[in-house]
Amino acid sequence: MPSNVRPLADAPLSGTWSCPLPLRDYPTIVIGHGGGGQLGNELVEHLFKPAFSNDALDRMADSTVLALPPGRIAYSTDSFVVRPLEFPGGSIGALAVNGTVNDLAMSGARPLYLSAGFILEEGLPMAVLGRIVTDMAAAAREAGVRIVTGDTKVVERGHGDGCYINTSGLGVIADGIDIAPQRAEVGDVVLVSGTIGDHGMAIMSVREGLEFDTTIVSDCASLASLVADMLAVTPDIHVLRDPTRGGLASSLNEIAAASGVGIVIRESALPVLPQVASACEILGMDPVFVANEGKLLAIVPPQHAMDMLAAMRAHPRGANAAIIGEVTASHPGMLVARTAIGAQRVIAMQLGEQLPRIC
Amino acid sequence: MKYLAEFRDGDIAQKLAADIRAITTRPWAIMEVCGGQTHSILRNGIDQLLPPEVELIHGPGCPVCVTPLDMIDKALAIAALPGVIFTSFGDMLRVPGSEKDLFRVKSEGGDVRIVYSPLDAVQIARENPAKQVVFFGIGFETTAPANAMAVHLAKREGLGNFSMLVSHVLVPPAIDAIMSAPGNRVQAFLAAGHVCSVMGFWQYPPLATRHAVPIVITGFEPLDVLEGIRRTVQCLETADYRVDNAYARVVTFDGNAPAQALLAEVFTVTDRAWRGIGVIPASGWRLSDAYADYDAEHRFDVGAIRTVESALCRAGEVLQGSIKPSQCEAFGTQCTPRTPLGATMVSSEGACAAYFNYGRFHTLERATVG
Ligand code: SF4
């Protein structure tokens, strides 16, 4: 790394990023940034490498050679296409790291390495890309993972939404851990790590220009260290799931189907921020179907439930954790809610996205 | 909105349900006119708390469901035109027309956009002077003031590129039609609080008297609905055929006078076809002559529409309360939210959708949770 380039890993977080020379020559992404020439090299040398710097990446070989600790390997990939690219509480960069880190953590793995593939649209402001990359670096640091390989392509203006990111991740699962959606058992207890629906409503409020009384902030965050604390209570966690798109209801439906059990939740026990509840009410949406990016569902044997709850609440990412229901032998494959007034209803999978209602 | 929990209190709900059981001596059929109430009833399981004698009949008050098929087909035709930005509330996008829905038109290149207010559509028109911006103006008296305001603003600003496809429907003529229909079973109505917050309830006493039917104005939260049902049963048991306002925190007798004045200026009462039901005289609004230039039906040539309704769909009977959605043979088989045959299966307020999404606990054993 040239000595006059400040490593971005030490730079302040998004909002204050300033474009280093010579990236400043081009204030926006041009087609040439995706080619194999000088412009592409400058992007790597002055943006990606300083931001993500680590031994494996800095060698700049065609493929990264990694030493993995003993254990089973968890491997996951996800693509991120959020609009807008920056929103209250995060950005596509933070999402791209936390999303894959959380997918690894949900199998009980300790996330170690990520790849990052960028598809950039011609015209994307360099400053926006800089902030996205800075967010990625910060999220990776917090999650304790290293971004060890990457790729950049540029598409013509009008052929993308500014920036798409794909991340893949590797993690290692210690012996004695077997977390899978098929493992929910009758009598198990269902916990959630905090308030639901925050991310989906935060995106909705900025994307659609809806003005609510208070700003709704995305919960985008890494769950890796929360999972580590939970595994310290017992390695015998049966199921973990981060309820992203489709929300809590879709995840619990999938678990009920995969395990062939019923799940019952108490609506009055679901943690929902008042501003999220109000926004959902106005739009006719149900917070159980709204996306989260920093919450997890845990299904654990009943004898560990209270200790698990205490461990989750002791962690900053689980301060609002709650026991919300249990696994039952009745109605296998279905999710049922006990409503606030003491009746019950089925919560079925939705067809696609929830649409705001008319009145 | 801060006090939502107050209207969902489980203990009070149980007490109201006990009160209803205590005063009910024989079978009663009560119609909730509004689709929002249908959803509240099924989502919260209010029907499960009622004594078996009290039957709730789901009414025609889902604006998406009753929008006639030819209007949907007109919308699809306009939305597919080059140079048009077609704007609508989200619910309308999945409603099946004769051949496709607005989502399909969008995927085929039509510029279809979801908005949250007709005023957003006006803003889109301001920002896109080279395009024709059309808003799909449907709904009951609830959504009408904002739609009227949008057209009013467009005219005041001389926005030549804004127009509205209007298919508004009105509640009182529907109540009149249901009570006049042969074979009617409805003995009382829960009237929609949202509608009455705009219109007041001065239109209802003549209806209650003419048909000897109690009408109770009711909100949407579980306790609102239960209290509405309690008062309705009380009226029925004492043969007291009057209009009762159980939603006084929002609704007054006269309603919102400025809104009503605006509506009277922008709209004119017209006969209106209700999807699945047929034409109900004087049951809708169209743009008044002063605003005829802003009528999308005039602006675009969409006369040659041929509509084909599903032969299996019994949504009309569902909307009039003569069958429950689960009594339709296609329910849950040929007709699901993925393959809807009628609008009542896709609208967020549709009775078929409510039964499909929430109602299947009828087939479950009672699950136990503390
Ligand atoms: S279930 Fe489907 S086909 Fe039957 S009435 Fe409802 S919408 Fe029509």
- Whole-complex ipTM: 0.77
Q: Mean pLDDT lowest for which of A209-213, A220-224, A241-245, B133-137?
A: A209-213
Q: Which of B174, B187, B194, B244 is nearest to B36 (CA)?
A: B194
pLDDT above 80: residue A359: no
**Residue B138 has what DSSP assignment?**
E
Q: How far is CA B179 from the centre of its chain?
A: 18
Give the model confidence (pLDDT) of A119-169 as tens digits.
999 999 999 999 999 999 999 999 999 999 999 999 999 999 999 999 999
Q: Which of B50, B142, B357, B366 to mutate to test the interface with A (most CBs of A within 10 A)?
A: B357
Q: Using 50, 70 and 90 to split pLDDT, how confident is the model at A355?
A: low
Q: Are B85 and B128 in contact (CB under 8 A)?
A: yes
Tell which atom from ligand 1 comes closest to the C-alpha of B315. Answer: 5
Cross-strand pairs, A146: A113
Pocket lining: B344 vs ligand 1, CB cutoff 6 Å: yes
Identify residue B256 by its one-letter amino acid code.
N
Nearest residue by C-alpha to atom 1 in ligand 1: B331
Query: What pLDDT was estimated at residue A348?
Result: 83
Q: Which residues does chain B have within 8 Å of residue A330's beta carbon, measured at their own beta carbons?
A: 364-365, 367-368
Closest CB from B92, B226, B367 relative to A344: B367
Q: Which residue has the tokens 């008319």?
A: A358
Query: What pLDDT was estimated at residue A15?
Result: 55
Contacts of A295 (CB under 8 A, 6+ apart): A192, A193, A194, A195, A196, A198, A219, A223, A242, A243, A248
Q: Give CA–CA dist A200/A220, Å, rounded.
A: 10
Strands (E), chain B: 28-34, 54-61, 84-88, 111-114, 132-139, 162-169, 188-192, 215-218, 243-245, 267-274, 278-287
Of the spans A18-22, A96-100, A207-211, B12-16, which averages the highest pLDDT? A96-100
Contacts of B277 (CB under 8 A, 6+ apart): B60, B66, B177, B316, B319, B320
pLDDT above 90: residue A8: no
Q: Which two tokens stand for residue B284?
A: 């809708």
**Residue B237 has what DSSP assignment?**
H
Q: Which two tokens stand for residue A139?
A: 């999220």
Q: Which H/E stretch holds residue A327?
A: strand A322-328
Burial of B10 (0-12, 13-18, 19+ CB in 10 A): middle
Q: Are B43 and B325 in contact (CB under 8 A)?
A: no
Burial of A144 (0-12, 13-18, 19+ CB in 10 A): middle
Query: What pLDDT was estimated at residue B14?
Result: 93
Q: Give CA–CA dist B282/B172, Å, rounded.
A: 10
Closest CB from A341, A346, A359 relative to B143: A359
Of the spans A67-71, A191-195, A272-276, B47-51, which averages the highest pLDDT? A191-195
Closest CB from A208, A326, A338 relative to B116: A208
More confident residue, B177 or A214: B177
Pairing of strands A322-328, A72-80: unpaired
Q: Using 50, 70 and 90 to split pLDDT, how confident is the model at A353?
A: low
Encode burial over A179-202: b for 16+ CB neighbours within 10 A, e otherwise: bebebbeeebbbbbbbbbbbbbbb
Q: Which two tokens stand for residue A244?
A: 């992203």
Contacts of B229 (CB under 8 A, 6+ apart): B20, B30, B46, B50, B54, B56, B190, B218
pTM over 0.90: no
CA of B134 to the centre of ligand 1 (A): 29
Query: What pLDDT was estimated at residue B147?
Result: 95
Tallying the residues shown for chain B, one arrives at: 370
Query: What pLDDT was estimated at residue B368?
Result: 33
Query: What pLDDT was estimated at residue B370?
Result: 30
Tallying the residues shown for chain A, one arrives at: 359
Q: Are B285 and B307 in contact (CB under 8 A)?
A: no
Pocket lining: B125 vs ligand 1, CB cutoff 6 Å: no
Q: Which two tokens stand for residue A93?
A: 């960069």
Q: Could you give the residue ranges of the DSSP H alpha helices within chain A?
A: 38-43, 49-52, 55-58, 92-105, 126-143, 198-207, 224-233, 247-259, 274-283, 305-314
Q: Which H/E stretch holds residue A325?
A: strand A322-328
Query: Quick check: helix, strand or coil at residue A273?
Result: coil
Query: What pLDDT was estimated at residue A162?
Result: 96
Q: Are B332 and B339 in contact (CB under 8 A)?
A: no
Q: What distance, in Å, lies between the first and last C-alpha atoms of chain B? A: 28
Cross-strand pairs, B169: B284
Q: Using 50, 70 and 90 to split pLDDT, how confident is the model at A20?
A: confident
Q: Rounded to whole angstroms, what are the CA distances from A135 to A132, A318, B60?
A: 5, 22, 51
> How many A/B residue pairs have CB atoms within 8 Å?
133
Q: Is A292 left (phi over 0), alpha (psi -120 to 50) or beta?
A: beta
Q: Which H/E stretch holds residue B227?
A: helix B222-237
Q: Rounded to whole angstroms, what are the CA distances from A284 to A145, B40, B42, B293, B348?
A: 39, 11, 15, 33, 8
Pocket lining: B203 vs ligand 1, CB cutoff 6 Å: no
Side-chain half-sphere of B85: how many Cα atoms within 13 Å?
20
Q: Which residues of chain B have pLDDT under 70?
A: 1-7, 303, 359-370
What residues 208-267 of chain A have any CB closer than 8 A to a CB of chain B? 208-210, 262, 264-266
Q: Using 50, 70 and 90 to split pLDDT, how confident is the model at A92?
A: very high
Residue B318, min C-alpha distance to chain A (Å): 20
Pairing of strands A109-121, A189-192: unpaired
Query: What pLDDT was estimated at residue B365?
Result: 34
Q: Which residues does chain B have within 8 Å of residue A328's beta carbon, measured at their own beta carbons?
A: 367-369
Q: Which residues does chain B have within 8 Å of residue A341's beta carbon, measured at their own beta carbons?
A: 8-10, 13-14, 44-46, 49, 222-223, 226
Q: Using 50, 70 and 90 to split pLDDT, how confident is the model at A285?
A: confident
